[in-house]
Every structure is written in C-alpha cells, then in structure tokens.
Amino acid sequence: MQPAVILLSGGLDSATTLAIAREEGFAPFCLSVDYGQRHNAELKAAARVAAALGARAHRTVHIDMNQFGGSALTDPGIAVPTAGVVPGIPVTYVPARNTIMLSLALAWAEVLGSQDIYLGVNAVDYSGYPDCRPEFIRAYETLANLATKAAVEGWRLHIHAPLIEMTKAEIIGRGTELGVDFGLTVSCYQPDPEGRACGLCDACRLRRAGFETARVPDPTSYQAR
C-alpha cells in the first residue's frame, strides 16, 4: 500500500475524505493543524476519527495564526456570524489557511515518499472561501510538482479533492456507505468545551441541512438553548 497524506480537520468532510483515501487503496497518514482556531474541539475529533478509520499515523502541527488574525476563527475580537449563510467571503475565512495546510502536507508527503495528498475541500455547499475552488487545487498541484524533488526526479504529486463537486448531502451519503461515524466529527465554528455544536453558524447550518437532505439521522450533539 502506498502512503497518502490526508488533511484531517476533525469535521465531516475530512473524515469522509479519509475513508475515500482508504477505499482507494492508500495507507493513510493523517495531518491536523492547530492554528489557534476558536473551535479547537475539532482537533480532539480529528484524533478520534483517525483512530476509528485506521490511520497509520496522526500528527498535529501547531502554528500560531492568532498573531496574524484577520478571521473570526483566529481573532477573538471578531464574532462568528450566526444569522445564516450569505453570499461573498465571510469573516470565518482564514487567510491562506488551505495553502498553509497543503504546504505542511507537502512537506510530510515528500519525507514519506508519498505522491498523494488528500483534502476535503468542497465548492458546492461551502462558505465562499477562495481556497476551496477547483482552480486553486489545480494550481496547487502544479506548484507542488515544481516545489519538490518531484521536479528533478521525474515523478508526480497528486492533490486529491474527492468532495470538490459533491453536495453536503452527497458527502454524507458517501461517508455513510464507507462506515464513517459522523458522531465522532465536529463541524461547528464555536462548539462548547465538550464539543457540542452551536447549531447557528454557517458550518452548523450547512451540516444540518446536509443530513436532512441525505435523509440520514443527524448524530450531532447540539448545545441546549
């Protein structure tokens, strides 16, 4: 089995992506990034998901992105919107986050001798982030092949974004087929210390609507109101 590096946030999408990578025959090496996110309950979820889905290894890299701020997820002074999903780039966008995470995955892949990186970005039921679009993924793959020994040694790196054209309901359906326990995952941007979801942020709204459309029971623990 060839190794693949899977970016694992602890949410629903990356858990399904891990299950897909395993289904596609790769030995999964999971990478999570503690970037100072408000919702770091997702990091505990990532560890649970990695263990449940048979990761060969799970590493967490720490980067203090609070010193840059500029996002509701990394600056405590910017509130997470709870009024519903609106068009445009929301304040939960973290500048360059996916670029940074892919770059860390690229480093580990090169050391492991892996040619395959998976990430669970999605351009359909998503939050308007520029770094979740197919043209971003294609440009990153081009870059990866120029940035590394691949450029000199004549092999190729592949960036897999298997969810990119799927709706949230389709992702939930696929994950369910592959045996993902979504009760282990955390999507909420502002969960309480026990990892219970707010039910109001964009991530909660997209997730809840996905379970409804997929006609799959929603295993999410919501905060009492």
Q: Total binding residues for a copy of itself by CB under 8 A?
A: 44
Residues 92-121 that bind a copy of itself (CB under 8 A): 93-100, 102-104, 106-108, 110-111
Q: How near is the Cβ of 85 to a copy of itself at its closest, in Å?
A: 16
* Least Cβ distance, residue 100 to a copy of itself (angstroms): 4
Minimal CA–CA distance to 66: which of 106, 94, 99? 94
Say whether residue 136 binds a copy of itself (CB under 8 A): yes
Give the list of residues 6+ apart from residue 204 with CB closer than 8 angstroms, or none. 187, 188, 189, 197, 198, 220
CA dihedral 13, 44, 28, 205 (to 10 degrees): 0
User: Where would I find the beta strands (DSSP E) of 166-207?
Assistant: none
Identified binder of a copy of itself from the candidate list 54, 76, 130, 179, rule CB under 8 A: 130
CB closer to a copy of itself, 35 vs 211: 35
C-alpha gyration radius of the chain: 17
Q: What are the structure tokens assigned to 168, written together? A: 């949230």
Stretch that binds a copy of itself, among 13-21, 64-72, 178-186, 205-213 (CB under 8 A): 64-72
Q: How far is the CB of 59 from a copy of itself (least distance, A)?
A: 6
